[in-house]
Amino acid sequence: MDELGSPVPDERGARLHLMRQAASDIVAGDGDAEDLAYEIYWQAAYSQLPELRPVADRFLELYVGWGTAYDQTAKAIAATKAAAQSFLRDHPA
């Protein structure tokens, strides 16, 4: 990365980047929203950063409730998109 002129991100920066990418994909309708919600949850939960705990909780709620509560409907996708938009607003690059 240094040779390419790009700084090597620390673990926190790398996790936030992956979370932002997954959230952007959800908003754009790229990929499976359920899988992307899990990716955001996982990165937030394992970052061990207290400020990301609410993010992990929200996306875990969406992921776990996907099959039973949302039944993979447009409502589930809309709720996931809204959470992804909120995350991107609250955690800009």
CA–CA distance, 90 with 86 (Å, rounded to integer)? 6
* pLDDT for the residue 8: 74
Tell me the H-state helices in 1-93: 11-28, 33-47, 53-65, 74-90
**pLDDT 10s digit of each residue in the chain, 93 long?**
678 887 777 888 889 999 999 999 999 999 988 899 999 999 999 998 899 999 999 999 888 876 655 555 778 889 999 999 999 999 998
* pLDDT for the residue 14: 87
* pLDDT for the residue 65: 74
Q: State the maximum Cα–Cα separation within the chain, in Å, rounded to a whole number.
A: 49
* pLDDT for the residue 24: 97
Q: Classify 60 as helix, strand or coil.
A: helix
* pLDDT for the residue 69: 53
* pLDDT for the residue 85: 97
